[in-house]
Structure formats: structure tokens, C-alpha cells
Structure 1
Amino acid sequence: MTTQALYLDSHALHCEAELLACFQEGEHWVAVLDKTVFHPQGGGQPGDTGRITTHCGERAQVLHTQKAGDIIQHVISQPLPTGPVTIAMDKEPRNTHSILHSLGHLIGNIGQQNGWQPEKAHHWPNECRVEFSPREHVIELDEHTLLQHLTRLIAANLPMRSHTKSDGTRWVAFGDLMAWPCGGTHVAATGEIPANIRVSTKLKKGKLQVRYQIMDVG
């Protein structure tokens, strides 16, 4: 069984789907659908939340979304019967996650262009960071320099572009910047990222860590 992932190349917040299975797991219930607009936790991005409503009017809150193999599991507040449903995602948390994930990609590109190789990234609100290891020739990156680069890339309003290779890996880039393998959600263009960014840098044992946040969204 494979869940059709509609969230990858769509900004849809809701869709019609078929609830294929519902089972209890610990204190909560898990719903499996044939397709979904919900992004599961992974790739440094939190899972989406929202609602599932049956055609009979029964409703459950989606508390978390996770992946198990090729199946996307919706952790819900109560059991629901199988059959046709309408699913609706919470807009504001998704928008926040997309902004922070996109900003992480921009920081990764800036580091790459200055001789730093991105190794890890985490895009959760209030915990955002990108970690780099040095390559042969590196240029020092401080907060002021990073903000200058970010301001320029945001003002350029670079469009997000994605493509999937023959091995099934999805690659994401903004404008002509380097593409990265990524299964997350993003803004349609960099101009959607707010300008009030705060960054901090830390160099430890030769490795660079950049922490970041946008003051309006976490």
C-alpha cells in the first residue's frame, strides 16, 4: 500500500480521500488514507495537523502525521469508519513550516557558496539550525554577512522549482541556486519569507552551526 502524497507539489489545504484503515496505537488512533495533503514528520520538518471528516459528519482531529514505509499515518483523536472523507489541514502551522524549511535551504546554499558543506538541518519552530563542515577553502560567515545574503535572496523573489529523478528522489531549488534532495514543503518563491530574520553563528571544533528564526513565526 502506498499513500499518494499530494503535498509535494501542491499548496492545497484540503481534499477528498478514501479512509482505508483505522486502528488503535497506544492512546491514539491511526488513520490511513489513499491520498493526503498532510506532510508527515521527516526531513527536519514537523508533521501537519488538521481534521478528517466523514461524509456522515463524524470528525476527528489530526494530532500528528508520520510515515511508515510508503504509508502516511494520520494520528487522530478518535476512531472513524472507513469510507469517503474530507481532510483539511491547519493552514498557519503548515505556512510556518514551509517558511522555515525554505529559509534553511537558503542558508545551506549561502554556506555552500562560501566553502561550508551542509551536514544536518532542523527546521522546527524555535529550534531551527543548519550545521556545516569546512571544505578546503572557507570564507568566514558571521551574522551580518549571512543577513546580507539572505536579504538579497528574499528580495530576488526566486521561484521554487522541483523535479523527481528516476530513482524517485525529489530535488528542490530556488531560482538558479543549487538543488537539494528534499521531501518537505516550501514557499512558492523566496519573496514570501518575512524579512525580520534573526541568525546566530557558532564555530566549534572547526564546524559551523547557524541557528535562525523569523520573529513573527517562531
Structure 2
Amino acid sequence: MTRAYYTDSYTLEFEATIIAVETVDGRPAAGLDHSYFYPTSGGQPHDTGHLRRGDTVARVLDVVEGEGDAIWLILDRPLGPGPVAASIDRDRRRDHMEHHTGQHILSAAFIRVAEAETVGFHLSQQSVTIDLDRADLSAAELDAAETLANEVIRDDRPVSARFVAAAEAAGLPLRKTPPGRDGLLRLIDIAGFDLTACGGTHVARTGEVGLIKIIKTERRGATTRVEFVCGGRALADYRAKHDLTRQLSATLTTGASELPAAIDRLREEARALAHALRQKDEALLGYEAAQLLAAAEPLGTARLVARVFVGRAPDELGRLAAALVADGVDGEDTVIALLGLAGERSHLVFARSADAPGDMAAQSDMAALIKPALAALGGRGGGRPTLAQGGGPAADEASVAAALQLARAQLVG
């Protein structure tokens, strides 16, 4: 098959003939006599589009390389051999051209300003990245590469493609030399800036890339992953961030340049409020613990608090149990707390004073005591002799109360 996109990345509508049909991974596929459709390869995704014959229109879902020089168009419905009118999705092709040429420019810029070679390239609808062979890139180097790349774009340099024999390519200053096809290499030449072998689709002049903006970097072992956007994606990214900045400025009634300081103030205020709220919450739990202890059931030399709650968080139940058994709440005897939570998720927290006498400590191992109670609720959990907890499925108050009564019966013996 003739790969027409090698010499012309701009033709999006053309006449062709289906000369072969096949089934690829269970889907109908067509092979054309010549094609401008790009197949997934070299880090660049495939084109999409349509094949039309009369009133029948087949959607091109994927384009894959087959054996030899074959290219298969994966269709949403079968089409037999014969003439077709083909069309390639313009926006997708344009996006790929902008980003693939942008990648060449940015990769060459990193070599010039940071001696960082590109060892990986990925282009998808969600992100565009290159992997560089340095993990220690500084912010200044990233800015310098981005600045140089955009200078090349503003220069509007010509971008051309040509084929050379492998022997000739060996004597050229190529940035990258992948395997060729039929003994030939296709070179993409950004005039006076970058020369590299590549089979992808590219713009004709660097100005068509529009803009290159690095939006994220990530250290990955001995490499750095750089995520960037070009052209239409760069505009969309700017619009989204500008809208967000404008909304934040309006909400916080401050200028964009003052947003970091305003957010810092809000963060400090939130921390202070959270601390004050926690202190008040702990005080309320202390008062609640004192009331529960006042009504506690005597159990030998200990006092037993067994209570079922609804609509509280499991961690709050744990803090209440800690308040009940803490030293200094009452100070006169050992406290055992059997607390349960009913609702969409059941939860039990069992605790006892750490300074319980030897016989009481041996009798009230919370980790052993909670297991039968949790089993009765269909739950699981565990812990230490002084504190154990666990959860289970939904349970009503009566079911949780029965589980606590089971534990109480074990204590009473």
C-alpha cells in the first residue's frame, strides 16, 4: 500500500479502492490501494474517519499495520472491495500534527539547553509526554527549553520531509535513527534546528504549532517525564486555567497575583478553626463520658458502660471510648466501655482502663471479647487487650444491643 501521508499530511479527503478485506481482532477491516490514514506507530495514535460508498458509510475506528507494508482500516461495519470516498477527521489529525512537530522542537531544545536526550514519547487524547534521560533537570533548564522551543515556533521555520538511504543517513547529524523501511529513512527537517528520522505526520512550518507549554514534570527513576501541550490544546489549557483564576479571584475578592497569599491565609485560618473545633469536641466528649460514667453499671470492682449509638462516626466512637477509660476521668476504679454503632455500617469499640487489677485484666481482654460480638453482626475486627474494634454490615439498634449484651454476659460469667 502507498503511504501517501509520508509526503502529504494535509490531504484529508481522497478517492481510493478497497483491494483487500480482512477480520482483525474480530472486527471488519479494509485495505486500500493507497491511503492518507496514519496507523498507530512511533508514539503517535492512529487517524479516524469514514469510508463512503453510495449511501453506505463506515466509520474508521482504528488503523493498524499488518504484515509487510499492509495497513488495515478497522471499520464499524464491513465494506467489500471496490471504490470508496475516504475522509480523515480533521481535528484529530491537526492535533497530532501540532504535537508531533512540537515534540521534535521541544526534544531538540532540551538537547541544546540541558544536554537531555528524549528516550520516550507518548501522544494520546489525554496527555502528551516526552521522557528525558536526566532526573536532575532544574526549573531554569525547563524554562530555557520551553523558551527556545517557542522562539523556533515564532521563527516560522519550514518543516520538510525527505527520504535517504541508510548509508547516507549514517553521515548526517540525526537526533534519532530508528529502523528504516525498505532500506530508506524518512527524515523530518526543521530548518536549521533539528533533523531526525520519523514516520509521523507533521506541519509544514513551525508557526503552525502555535505554542508549546510545559504543564507538568515528574521524576521517574533516572528520567524526567515532561508533559506539554501545543496549539489548540495549549489554548484550551490556558482558557481553563484563566477561568479558574478569574473565579477564584472573584470568590476571594482579590487580584490574581494575590491569590497565593489569600489561599495561605485561608489555610492558616482553617487550621486554627480545626484545632479549636477539636478542642471543643474533646471537651464535649469529656462531658458525655462523665454523664455515662455517672450512670454506669457496677461490675465487681469495675464500672461498665454499654451503649448503642446512631448517626455518629466510628472514629468519634473510638474517642469517646478513650475518654471513658482514660486516667483521671474518675480515678477511683476500672472502667469497661462496650460501645456500638447501628446504621448502614455497624461498628463496635470495646475498651478498658489500662491500670485494671490483675484478675480484672485477665477477665476483660477486649480483643477476645469483641470477636463473638462482631461475629453476631457478621463483621470482623480485633485489637489489643485494652482496646479492640471492628465493623460489619448494616444493623439496627436491637441487633447491635444484642451483640453488646453477648459481650456483657461473657464479662459477668
Q: TM-score, normalised by structure 2?
A: 0.48
Q: In 1, Cα distance between the equivalents of 2:236 and 2:28? A: 30
If each structure's helix is expressed as a fraction of its own residues, which one has the higher value?
2
Structure 1 SS opposite 2:227? strand
Q: In 1, Cα distance between the equivalents of 2:42 and 2:220? A: 24
Q: Does 1:87 align with 2:86?
A: yes
Pairwise mapping of residues 55-204 of structure 1 onto structure 2 (< 5 A)? Answer: 56-69=54-67, 70-113=69-112, 114-134=114-134, 140=138, 142-166=141-165, 167-195=183-211, 197-204=213-220
CA shift for structure 1 position 27: 4.1
Gaps of 5+ in 1: none
Alignment partner for residue 215 of structure 1, among 221, 225, 234?
234
In structure 1, give the amino acid aligned to 2:79.
L
Alignment partner for residue 2 of structure 2, among 1, 4, 7?
4
Q: Does 1:22 align with 2:21?
A: yes
Gaps of 5+ in 2: 166-182, 238-413
Q: In 2, Cα distance between the equivalents of 1:179 and 1:105? A: 9
In structure 2, give the amino acid aligned to 1:186.
H
In structure 1, give the amino acid aligned to 2:7.
D
CA shift for structure 1 position 146: 2.7
CA shift for structure 1 position 188: 1.1
Q: In 1, Cα distance between the equivalents of 2:228 and 2:145? A: 10
Question: 1:125 touches 1:217 (CA, 8 Å); kept in 2?
Answer: no
Q: In 2, Cα distance between the equivalents of 1:160 and 1:125? A: 24
Q: In 1, Cα distance between the equivalents of 2:124 and 2:100? A: 8
CA shift for structure 1 position 76: 0.5
In structure 1, give the amino acid aligned to 2:147.
Q
In structure 2, give the amino acid aligned to 1:191.
G
Structure 2 SS opposite 1:116? coil
Moved over 6 A (4+): none
Q: In 2, Cα distance between the equivalents of 1:189 and 1:42? A: 23
Q: In 2, Cα distance between the equivalents of 1:45 and 1:94? A: 10
Structure 2 SS opposite 1:80? coil
In structure 2, give the amino acid aligned to 1:35.
H
CA shift for structure 1 position 24: 2.6
Label 1:207 to 1:26 Cα distance change in 2 as closer, same or farther (>3 A). closer
CA shift for structure 1 position 176: 1.3
Q: Does 1:35 align with 2:30?
A: no
Q: In 1, Cα distance between the equivalents of 2:25 and 2:32? A: 20
CA shift for structure 1 position 215: 2.8
CA shift for structure 1 position 144: 2.4
In structure 2, give the amino acid aligned to 1:104.
Q
Q: In 2, Cα distance between the equivalents of 1:207 and 1:48? A: 30
Which has the higher mean CA deviation after the structures are superposed, 113-122 or 40-49?
A: 113-122
Q: In 1, Cα distance between the equivalents of 2:221 and 2:124? A: 25
Structure 2 SS opposite 1:19? strand
CA shift for structure 1 position 203: 3.8
Structure 2 SS opposite 1:46? coil
Q: In 1, Cα distance between the equivalents of 2:218 and 2:137? A: 14
Structure 1 SS opposite 2:5? coil
Question: 2:133 touches 2:222 (CA, 8 Å); kept in 1?
Answer: yes
CA shift for structure 1 position 16: 1.2
| Partner deviation per Cα, 1:135-170 (whole Å, 9 max, x = no partner) | xxx984544223211221110111111111222211
Q: TM-score, normalised by structure 1?
A: 0.88
Aligned pairs, number: 212
Question: 2:159 touches 2:189 (CA, 8 Å); kept in 1?
Answer: yes
In structure 1, give the amino acid aligned to 2:60.
V
Structure 2 SS opposite 1:211? strand
Higher relative contact order (CA 8 A, sep 6+): 1
Q: In 2, Cα distance between the equivalents of 1:130 and 1:156? A: 23
- Determine what percentage of the aligned residue pairs are the same residue: 23
